[in-house]
Amino acid sequence: MEQYSAAEKIYELFSEKALALGIPEPVLVIAAYAIPCLVVINLIQGAAGMLTYAERKISADIQNRIGANRVGPFGLIQFLADGVKLFLKEDIIPDAADRKLFKLAPYIVLSSTVLAAIVVPFGGSFIVADLNIGLIFIIVVSSLLVVGFLMSGWASNNKWALLGGIRSAAQIISYEIPTALSLLCIVLITGTFSLQETVMSQGLWPWQWFIFHNPFSFVAFFIFFVSALAEMNRTPFDFPEAESELVSGYNVEYSGMRFSIFFIAEYGSIFIISGLAAAVFLGGGNIGLDPYESPLHMQLLMVGVFFAKTVPLCLVIIWVRWSMPRLRIDQMLTMCWKYFIPIAFACLVATAIWLLVFNGNGIFWRMPAP
Amino acid sequence: MGKIEEYTVKRDADRTDLKLNMGPQHPATHGVLRLELDLDGEIIRKCTPHIGYLHRGTEKLGEDRTYISALPLTDRLDYIASMNNNIGYCVAVEKLFGIEAPERAKYIRTMCAELGRISSHLLWLATHALDIGAMTVFLYAFRERAMIMEMFEKLTGARLTVSYPRIGGVRNDVTQEFIDRAHAFADEFPTHMEEYETLIDQNRIWLKRTKGIGIITADEAINWGLSGPMIRGSGIAYDIRKHEPYDAYKDVEFEVPIGTEGDVYDRYRVRMIELRQSALIIKQCVEKLPRGAILDPNAPKFTLPPKERVMTDMESLIHQFVLITKGPMTAQEGEVYVATELPKGEFGYYFVSDGSGKPYRMRLRAPSFVHASVLPLMCEGGLIADVIANIGTLDIVLGECDR
């Protein structure tokens, strides 16, 4: 089966006309790749904006408040007002800060989120690039976060920020391991790192999803979800910013647009991680049809299915934040090294044995005929 | 190449990598407490509290004011529980002057003191949970605190700095509406308590963050002079309301909860049970509230006559003039120390009187001041996150600590 990325499809659609108009091919190729990239960047920002709104509203509901209701209907475009406000704020760089690193850090954090979005299959053929190392790619780029956090912590020349940066390094690097191990359980089943193929080998119904493939993948899903919470610094693992301990942690010296970039990255990564969990464990946008051959309306339905699985996961992440206290850094690292990594390893080995014993089949899921 | 050893970092107990200044501007230091932390990584090697950022010289100011006009100063000490400060002050001055408030006033005071205690403990619960990261408890606790604030507003005209009790009684009689509201509040309060406890009481993360943290043994608690929930959390049932009852506390029944381990969780439990007990006391006060005067017959010596009588009556005019300029002149020479049980602990008023209308010396024994000194004991060897939990469990108010 031939697979395309969105860029290739765009290229195919327009190449004849464009070449006839005399546009040189390299320009066309770059344009074909730039369009989906821009779409994804905007998608991340839009998702981040809507998630901040959701966070306001959900936290308000949980805490017996009303929440944002002034800007737009039901306060829906509050996030735009926030964005404008942050954009107009004075951009302060502390005198003693390392200016270059200070300016660079937010973009590294953001780029990690946006890069991860490249390989997330949004349903149908809507994927920027279906890399055959998709899962590895996503794990690698999400480690970039550490660089950004450490950089911002160091460059701020503030002790709180430094502590936040160092905490994030300890935390994100530790939790990378269970995250990757739990994803590997699924890689064992599918035999591919490509996310689109992972989605396509699942089905419409819950028993065709990999979360219910075998008991160990079920455990792996929860390990993945909790580790991912830790990896993106959400409560109960929000140590790098822990506002009651480290004031605001790594971003304490940031203001205005740079500050908001950190936040776009944070909320963007909530969306990405939820999307990844939905794609790998919950069948993504699969409705039992071939994503490339189906007509457009079915493809849009797939996108709808993908979002129907992603959004509840995002909401769970927000829900957890407003109902849980914060762990302590050593307790969290203990949890990772003593429990999560051994359990994730056990799941990996057990999945391998399961596949060996049952000839690659799950409880309900059947190995497709070669 | 022989220099490698020079660069090898020796890890010993005294090693500190980082000196961190926590406060006075820090979201979790409850005002303007400043802690100087010597850190090894995130481990606290040395913790030095610095206080005094909110010093307003209340003790000295008290010497310059008559016994009557010093009352509003006490509002600003523990501003979370100003009602309890006022009551403590009045009880102390009453003892100095040898007068006693009538029964009805005592019951009203007890009721208000317990409302103040609930209000203070709710603020403690809200901020303590917020510091540990449970943000939702904050707003739930403040919902009930607002009810108390509204009740105080109805009764006294002020929400925070009430200045309601008077020497020898209270300012206004309670209305039927206030009594009804207080009773209804005390009735429904335990259900609200269950809401808070659902959120944190058995939460695994909450238990991990509070159990075994900031342990103070019973001996240490006595040696450091702790009081209130701090000493009760360590297993010593010391409550001034029981041991030296003032106001109506001898007539109401309540339990004094104690902890076993002396850690943050025990003190949390102690305060939670105290909240329930306070609600019970309010109920009893409402039910037993006697009829009668709200001011001692001698109290006119301490209260200004009505304005219209000042304008028409010579006696009243002289009376007002003397009270304003010289204060109540009937104090015995000598000294008096009266401690009352504030939400934070034992708050003592010590007066030295020279027979004039102003105290010769006014000394305040502030529980927050004593409790702040125990911070190094609790924090050293712990992590930064534990410092936050420990400050929360102390329940200090810097207005009272710095005076």
Classify residue A369: in a domain, yes or no: no
Among the partner-chain residues A64, A243, A324, the one whose CB lies closest to the CB of B134 is A324
Residues A79 and A53 sit within 8 Å (Cβ to Cβ): yes
Query: How close A58 comes to chain B (CA, Å)?
Result: 11
pLDDT in tens, chain A (370 residues): 445 566 677 777 777 777 777 777 787 778 777 887 888 888 888 888 888 888 888 888 888 888 888 887 888 888 888 888 888 888 888 888 888 888 888 889 888 888 888 888 887 777 777 778 888 888 888 888 888 888 888 888 888 888 888 888 888 888 888 999 998 888 888 888 888 888 888 877 888 888 888 888 888 899 999 888 888 877 778 877 777 777 777 888 888 888 888 888 888 888 988 998 998 888 888 887 777 777 778 888 888 888 898 999 999 998 888 888 888 888 888 888 889 999 999 999 999 998 888 887 777 777 776 6
- A55, A238, A247, A326, best to mutate vs chain B, most B CBs in 10 Å: A326
How many Å is the Cα radius of gyration of chain B? Answer: 23
Whether the bond between B300 and the residue before it is cis, its omega within 30 degrees of 0, is: no
Is the CB of A95 inside 8 Å of chain B's CB atoms?
no
Contacts of A64 in chain B (CB under 8 A): 139-140, 143
Give the residue among B302, B367, B311 at the shortest CA–CA distance from B331. B302
Q: pLDDT value at position A342?
A: 92
The separation between CA B122 and the C-alpha centre of its own chain, rounded to angstroms, equals 12
Is the CB of B143 inside 8 Å of chain A's CB atoms?
yes
Q: What are the helix (H) ranges across chain A?
A: 6-21, 25-62, 78-88, 99-118, 134-155, 159-190, 195-200, 215-231, 256-281, 296-323, 329-334, 341-357
Contacts of B33 in chain A (CB under 8 A): none
Contacts of A325 in chain B (CB under 8 A): 129, 132-134, 200, 203, 205-206, 209
Q: Which residues pair with residue B342 across a beta bridge?
A: B345
Classify residue A364: in a domain, yes or no: no
Q: What residue in A sits closest to B134 (Cα-Cα)?
A: A325
Is the CB of B318 inside 8 Å of chain A's CB atoms?
no
Classify residue A367: in a domain, yes or no: no
Q: pLDDT value at position A26?
A: 80
The answer for A192, left when phi > 0, alpha when psi is -120 to 50, beta otherwise, is: beta
Is the CB of B78 inside 8 Å of chain A's CB atoms?
no
Task: Scan for tokens 């400050």, then name that residue.
Answer: B391
Are B20 and A235 within 8 A, CB to CB?
A: no
3-state secondary structure of A281: helix
Give, in order, the Cα–Cα distances in Å from B204 to each of A62, A135, A233, A331, B246: 20, 33, 19, 12, 40
Are B28 and A63 within 8 A, CB to CB?
A: no
Percent of chain A predicted with pLDDT > 70: 98
Question: How far apart are the C-alpha atoms of B55 and A248, rounded to whole Å?
Answer: 28
Classify residue A370: in a domain, yes or no: no
Classify residue A78: in a domain, yes or no: yes
Are A326 and B385 within 8 A, CB to CB?
A: yes
Give the residue among B105, B107, B69, B103 at the shortest CA–CA distance from B89. B69
Q: pLDDT value at position B7?
A: 43
Count of CB pairs separated by less than 8 Å, A with B: 80
Q: pLDDT value at position A349?
A: 92
pLDDT in tens, chain B (403 residues): 344 444 444 555 556 677 888 878 887 777 788 888 888 878 888 888 888 888 888 888 888 888 888 888 888 888 888 889 999 998 888 888 888 888 888 899 999 999 999 999 999 999 888 888 888 888 888 888 998 999 989 888 888 888 888 888 888 888 888 888 888 999 999 998 888 888 888 888 888 888 888 888 888 889 988 888 889 888 888 888 888 888 888 888 888 888 888 888 989 999 999 999 999 899 888 888 888 877 777 666 777 777 787 788 888 888 888 888 877 777 778 888 998 988 888 888 998 988 787 888 888 888 888 988 888 888 888 888 888 888 888 888 888 888 8
Question: How far apart are the C-alpha atoms of B214 and B228, rounded to whole Å?
Answer: 16
Contacts for A297-305: CB closer than 8 Å, 24+ residues apart? A298/A124, A299/A123, A299/A124, A299/A125, A299/A126, A300/A124, A302/A123, A302/A124, A302/A126, A303/A122, A303/A123, A303/A124, A303/A126, A304/A123, A305/A123
pTM: 0.85
Classify residue A254: in a domain, yes or no: yes
Question: How far apart are the C-alpha atoms of A196 and A128, rounded to whole Å?
Answer: 11
Query: How close B239 comes to chain A (CA, Å)?
Result: 31
Domains of chain B: 2-50 (no CATH), 58-402 (1.10.645.10)
Q: What residues make up the domain containing A39?
A: 4-357
Is the CB of A334 inside 8 Å of chain B's CB atoms?
no
∠ CA B332-B334-B338, nearest 5°, is 100
What separation, in Å, do the N-terminal and C-terminal C-alpha atoms of chain B show? 60
Is the CB of A327 inside 8 Å of chain B's CB atoms?
yes
Q: pLDDT value at position B6?
A: 45
HEC secondary structure over B101-135? CCHHHHHHHHHHHHHHHHHHHHHHHHHHHHHHCCH
Are B133 and A329 within 8 A, CB to CB?
A: no
Quick one: CA dihedral B389, B394, B398, B399, positive or negative? Answer: positive
Give the residue among A149, A116, A126 at the shortest CA–CA distance from A41. A116
Split into its structural domains, chain A has a count of: 1
Q: pLDDT value at position B16?
A: 62
Give, in order, the Cα–Cα distances in Å from B5 to each of A76, B8, B12: 62, 5, 16
Residues A255 and A196 sit within 8 Å (Cβ to Cβ): no
Q: Which of residues 25-54 of B touch A (CB under 8 A)?
A: 26-28, 42
Classify residue A66: in a domain, yes or no: yes
Predicted ipTM > 0.85: no
* Torsion angles phi and psi, residue A126, rounded to 5: -85, 85
Task: For helices A256-281 and A159-190, give the axis angle rounded to 10 degrees.
Answer: 20
- B135, B144, B207, best to mutate vs chain A, most A CBs in 10 Å: B135
Query: What letter represents residue B139's amino acid?
Result: L
Are B209 and A326 within 8 A, CB to CB?
A: yes
Is the CB of A42 inside 8 Å of chain B's CB atoms?
no
Classify residue A284: in a domain, yes or no: yes
